[in-house]
Structure 1
Amino acid sequence: MSSIQNIGISGLRSAQSGLLTASHNISNANTPGYNRQQIVQSTNNPLPRGSGFVGQGVQVTTVQRIYSQFLTSQALQVQTQSSQLSSYYNEIKQIDNLLADTSSGLSPAMQNFFSAAQDVATNPTSIPSRQALLSHAQILVGRLQEMDQHFSEMRDGVNKQLTSNVEEINVLATQIAKLNINIQTAEGVAGGQPANDLRDQRDLLLRELSQFIKVDVVRQDNGHYNVFVGSGQALVVGDRTMTLKTVVAPDDAQRLTVALDMGNKTILLPEHQLQGGSLGGLFAFREETLDSTQNTLGLIALGLAQTFNDQHRLGQDLHGLLGGDFFHIPEPGVQAASGNDSASSVTVAVSDVGALTASDYRFEYDGTNYTLTRLSDNFSVSTPVAPDATPLTLDGLSITDATIQSGEHFLIQPTRQAAQGIGIAIQDPARIAAAAPIRTEADIANTGTATISAGRVNSPLDTNLQKTVTITFQSSNLFKVTGDGLPTDDQTYKSGEDISFNGWSIQIDGKPAAGDTFVIRANTNGVADNRNALLMAGLQTQNSLLNETASFQSTYASLVSQVGSKTRELEVMNRAQTNMLAQVDQSIQSLSGVNLEEEAANLLRYQQAFQAASKVIEISNSLFDTLLRI
């Protein structure tokens, strides 16, 4: 009778385990990260009898998770890619909206500024037109500064998000390490049976961690998960965690980066190794888009201000004075690396604004050579001689007065802060140099057919620029030049060829006669002259940037196009990756999710099994009572 009763009890226990497991599944149907569980049953060892083996009931060998390691690993990979794209897209679309805005973008401000310059050329004596130019110049400067401020705020926002993400990563790593210990302890006490709920919690933490950074998991025999992030940096090893922290980049005080905190020292982690998740998306956005966009805006600001200044200095204002700077222009940004000696320094100047790029640069000394490197493509120039008397130049930058020790370096950002730093240098509208400082005349008594051009100023620094110069023809192909300090020998004449003295150039066309004279003199009382204003207005369409291959407007249009294309690309990729993540999650739910209808059926099935096993026990007791009555 005891064998029948034991079989009934084993069935009762098995059905009870099934009821408990089904009830547990139903209760956790909406628990994040929960994997459906089921009991695994096997028959007890049968007993041999003369008539054969007689069964001894059932046992529950384990309660297992319905779990796919492949799908879980795939979900981690897809999740980290989705988070990276989402983080990058959320940031870049802010820049896209800012640049492409037809009302608050830069294009309308530049167009209005050059239209005002054209209006001054049309009405050079008009004070209201001149005041309008100053007003639109101030609006343009304000727009550049406003846009740059947005970029700086985004840079600060990236730094704050990096700090927040690193803190979350550290918290999750600590929780995973604790669960490693708890799982090992719980499974040791249970004789190696899996701690399913604790394992679910750990997998959920890994899923959350993958939202911040790429995760690789190495599963150990003792139940521990060793977690590696990025491109192989250990984060969790058994019950130990490596702590990350954000630190100021050694060569850029505005940039936070990630380092490994070893207690007594800090090890910087290369940003390109910290891939995936929102952390990788922020790094990629800052390096690929934010830096280049802010630098390009600064390039436009610096190029426009410098070329306008250069042309303005070639003109003459309403007071008859030579033009000065129209815009204030900031110096290139130079940051010493954190390990440099405090006495080390370098002087950087822009020698050719048209050759500038939107890249940052590194200047370093290795004990033998001084090297200037363009960081966008690592192209460099070097010299073994300290760049003082002979400057070291690259892309319109000039390096001089370098006091630097071996192993030290400087970060040079020629355009990063240019948009924020420019300003208006004049306030008096009469100081706008709309006129040319020289004028030319042909003697009315000339008998030849030659004509003289209006003249072009080459250098406003020449002290003889406005002194009177007379050109007298000895014959149709020879002329003399008279004036202070000028050569007295005969000059050969060629029609249309430049004649240059005292910082100006003119051309005489046609056939002169002997005795014909032409005069170049100061443009006294030339208040209605608009020649320099026309040249300043013409800068709008002139290719002044990127080695004279692009205008200000085309450079900005190219920037808007690049950012727009990248934004659209990320939008499409992010949507596709989100759909892929949803599909993977659906596959996981199909396999591991709780189906309430199925669990309700299991409850009925185990209830019936429980009742049937109870009946077996009841029959066993009845049979035993019958034997006792014999």
Structure 2
Amino acid sequence: MPDLMSNAVSGLLAMQQALATTGHNIANANTPGYSRQTVNLASMQAQFQNGSYIGSGVQVASVTRSYDQFIQSQMNSATADNSRYSFLQNYTTQITQLLGDTQSGVAAQTQAFFNATQAVAANPTDLTARSTFLGSAQALASQFNTIDGQLQNLDNQIGQQANQIGTQINSYASQVADLNGKITKALASDPSAPPNDLLDQRDQLVTQISSLIDVKVTTDNAGNVNLNVGTGQSLVLNDTATKISVGNLPSGLSVTLGGADITARVSGGTLGGMIQAQGQLVTPLRNELGRAALVLADQVNQNQAAGTDLNGNAGTNLFTPVSGFAPQTTAMPTNQGTGSATGSYTDPTLLTGQTYTARYDGSNWQVSTVPSDGSAPLSVASGGTLTLPGMSVTFAGTPQSGDVLNILPTVGAAGKISVVQQDPSGVAAAATGQPAGSRDNTQMTALFNLANQALVGQSAPGANNGVSLSDAVNTAVSQAGSYAGQVQLSAQAASSTLSNLTAEQQSVSGVNLDEEAANLMRYQQQYQALAQSISSANTTFQSLLGAFR
């Protein structure tokens, strides 16, 4: 039956919960992912008494969190973008520092090598000029080796870090799945009493996953949050998490989820940044430097073999012969068969700088360029040999349908070039047939002119419609610098977007300590007033007792 005492007690209990919630907000003001909670009060059902409905006091209808699903969704997307560009910005900065500029880096060293031929051409019998020329060749080879080695080291670091990221994603996904189970159980018990703290923890985990890999978030009526990667591959489904696996192949990172290769579908988060760095910067750069190194070795060696050295002997190789190089071929870890491929170079000047993917369709290997140039795939049976621009590839083994091989024609070649001619008198400056001690400079002059011949990437032998060696190296360096500039602008925009969304999210969900302090005072005053009501009820009760004594 409603009365002054019971109404006041209901109010005291409600104020106790309001004060406790306010204290909870204050305690979690700096907790990442915490959403401010609010106690929602409602009057208790009135009771009919003496011809009227008399109020029965107050009750806590619910405790809700200040939360905006739309903002949270934008935050997850912005977090994925910001993490991707943050990694790319840091990575491209390291690479541009390695390359140097056209005045001090590998491009300058290439030009210095060709310039050194002029001193030998001016005085073909001078051993000092010849030694300087060999020293310049050695410096250029060392520069190619150093840059390719450092790029390889950075690539290895990506692999190690990516493996750790895969472990983190699996840990976070497992926690999300566990929280799904707890949250759905709580909501099934009482749909009007959502477990706010568990919901915040789950949202924070989803944000952390988004910083590592882009995920699509969906919810269901039971309270589950389901996470998908790529085109719908499930990372978390209800209370079950699927493990993700990350490996680093010579062709780049390989990401599998539940046994399916999803590498091409990962575009956000730190992991997406890593894949982008490899596919759009590291691999193309190593490809171009490797192609330039191969053409350099091939053409300089041909020049030397066609001449005569200071002792009157036929010229020999200056650099490592092209026969000592081979394209890299790697099998995807998801392959079920034993298919493999080996390659050799036929004419490095015809290499296009592209990489290739071979996919077995159950009958033949279908070989396509990466990125696709729009042409139809070339078909070759297992055990057959395929002729590609500048090289040939032979396939072997027993592949299974769906197996994939990656073919990297020139990646890593810059790290293998070396100077094999150590004797200054062994440099072939004169044309073939010239006697010992000849002052003929035919080969040195031709070698100097080689710098400006458009041999790299020509369409056919002797077509001279490619780019020069110097331009090939300069282009690789300048493209890396341009890419780094674009990444920096994108990184600034992504960071600004995330900052704006964070501020908007905090305006909705963040704890304002001034507001909470005001709430404390308000609830305390109401609590004191209710306590006074109880005191008044007690006084009235005592007066009534006294009247009947």
Q: 2: CA distance between counterparts of 1:65 and 1:218?
A: 20
CA distance in 2, matches of 1:405, 1:188: 54
User: Could you tell me which residue of structure 2 aligns to residue 257 of structure 1?
Assistant: 254
Cα distance, 1:43–1:541 mapped onto 2, change above 3 Å: same
Letter of the structure 1 residue corresponding to residue 172 of structure 2: L
Aligned to 1:228: 228
Query: SS of the counterpart of 1:135?
Result: helix
Q: Quick check: 1:98–1:104 contact (8 Å CA) kept in 2? A: no
Match of 2:477 among 555, 560, 584: 560
Aligned to 2:441: 530
CA contact (8 A) 1:367 1:405 kept: no
* In structure 2, C-alpha distance between the alignment counterparts of 1:367 and 1:54, rounded to whole Å: 82
User: Corresponding residue for 1:353?
Assistant: 348
User: 1:337 corresponds to which residue?
Assistant: 331
User: Could you tell me how far 1:49 is from its partner in structure 2?
Assistant: 5.0
Distance 1:202 1:406, change over 3 A: closer
Q: Deviations over 1:178-211 (max 9, x none)?
A: 2222333445556741111111111111111110
Q: Percent identity, aligned pairs only?
A: 33
Instruction: Tell me if structure 2 keeps the 8 A contact 1:230–1:276.
Output: no
Per the alignment, residue 573 of structure 1 pairs with: 490
- 1:191-240: CA deviation from partner (whole Å, max 9, x where unpaired): 74111111111111111111011122222333222222333221112221
- 1:452-502 per-residue CA deviation (whole Å, 9 max, x = no partner) reads xxxxxxxxxxxxxxxxxxxxxxxxxxxxxxxxxxxxxxxxxxxxxxxxxxx
TM-score scaled by length of structure 2 = 0.90
The aligned counterpart of 1:241 is 241
Partner of 1:418: 413
Aligned to 1:584: 501
Map 1:28-107 → 2, pairs under 5 A: 28-49=28-49, 52-101=52-101, 105-107=105-107
CA 1:592–1:149 in structure 2 vs 1: closer, same or farther (change >3 Å)?
same
Measure, in 2, the Cα distance between the counterparts of 1:598 and 1:560: 56
Query: Does the 8 A contact of 1:435 with 1:528 survive in 2?
Result: yes
Aligned partner of 1:325: which letter?
N
The within-5 A match list for 1:41-190 is: 41-49=41-49, 52-101=52-101, 105-188=105-188
1:294 aligns to what SS in structure 2? helix
Q: Is 1:297 the counterpart of 2:289 in the alignment?
A: yes
Unaligned runs of 5+ in 2: 459-464
Match of 2:311 in 1: 319
Q: CA deviation at 1:255?
A: 4.2
Amino acid at match of 2:307: G
Tell me the alpha carbon deviations over residues 25-76 of structure 1, each in whole angstroms, 9 at most, x when there is no partner. Answer: 1111111111111110111122345664332221111111111111111111
Match of 1:509 in 2: none
Structure 1 residues 63-121: Cα deviation after superposition (integer angstroms, max 9, x where no partner): 11111111111111111111112222222222122223467620222122112111111
What is the CA–CA distance in structure 2 between the aligned matches of 1:387 and 1:620, rounded to whole Å? 99
Shift of the 121–82 alpha-carbon distance from structure 1 to 2, 3 Å rule, reads: same
Q: Which amino acid letter does the alignment assign opposite residue 337 of structure 1?
A: A
User: Residue 601 of structure 1: CA displacement?
Assistant: 0.7
CA shift, 1:134, in A, is 0.8
- Which residue in 1 is equivalent to 2:455? 544
- Please state how far the C-alpha of 1:365 moved relative to its aligned partner: 7.0
Q: How many residues align?
A: 534
Q: CA RMSD in A?
A: 2.6
SS of 2:120's partner is helix
C-alpha distance after superposition, 1:515-550 (max 9, x if no partner): xxxxxxx43346111111111111122222121331
Q: Deviations over 1:148-174 (max 9, x none)?
A: 001111111111121011000001011
Q: Which residue of 2 aligns with 1:396?
A: 390
1:290 match: secondary structure: helix
Letter in 1 for 2:372: D
Following TM superposition, by how much is the alpha carbon of 1:593 offset from its aligned partner in structure 2, in angstroms? Answer: 0.9
Q: CA deviation at 1:603?
A: 0.6
SS of equivalent residue, structure 2 residue 316 = coil
Report if aligned partners of 2:2, 2:54 keep a CA contact under 8 Å in 1: no
User: Does the Cα contact within 8 Å between 1:231 and 1:273 map onto a contact in 2?
Assistant: yes
- Distance 1:566-1:384 versus aligned 2 partners, 3 A rule: closer
Query: Contact (CA 8 Å) 2:429, 2:443: kept in 1 or not?
Result: yes
Q: Answer whether contact 2:76 2:207 (CA < 8 A) is retained.
A: yes
Shift, 1:246, TM fit: 2.5
CA deviations on 1:345-389 (whole Å, 9 max, x unpaired) are: 76633222222121123467768667653333254574779998x
Displacement of 1:284: 1.4
Q: Which runs of 5+ in 1 are unaligned?
A: 262-266, 438-521
Deviations 1:407-460 (A, max 9, x none): 5775433211211111112111111110112xxxxxxxxxxxxxxxxxxxxxxx
Match of 2:519 among 582, 602, 607: 602
CA pair 368-225 structure 1, distance change in 2 beyond 3 A: closer
Please list the CA deviations of residues 250-280 of structure 1 after superposition, one character each: whole Å capped at 9, or x if unmatched.
Answer: xx5x64412235xxxxx13231222311111
Counterpart amino acid of residue 67 in structure 1: Y
CA contact (8 A) 2:352 2:457 kept: yes
SS in 2 for 1:62: strand
Amino acid at match of 1:258: V
Confirm or deny: 8 A CA contact 1:302 1:418 kept in the other structure: yes
Give, in whole Å, the separation in 2 of the partners of 1:418 and 1:173: 40
Quick check: 1:366–1:406 contact (8 Å CA) kept in 2? no
CA separation in 2, counterparts of 1:346 and 1:233?
30
SS in 2 for 1:311: helix
AA paired with 1:128? T
CA distance in 2: counterparts of 1:188 and 1:405, whole angstroms: 54
Q: Check whether the contact 1:332–1:412 (CA below 8 A) recurs between aligned residues.
A: no
- Call closer, same or farther: CA 1:158–1:179 in 2, change over 3 Å: same
Higher helix share: 2
Contact 2:355 2:370 in 1 (8 A): yes
Are 1:20 and 2:15 an aligned pair?
A: no
| Matching residue of 1:629 | 546
Which entry has the higher C-alpha Rg, 1 or 2? 1
Letter in structure 1 aligned against 2:511: V
Pick closer, same or farther for the CA change 1:54–1:404 going to 2, 3 Å.
closer
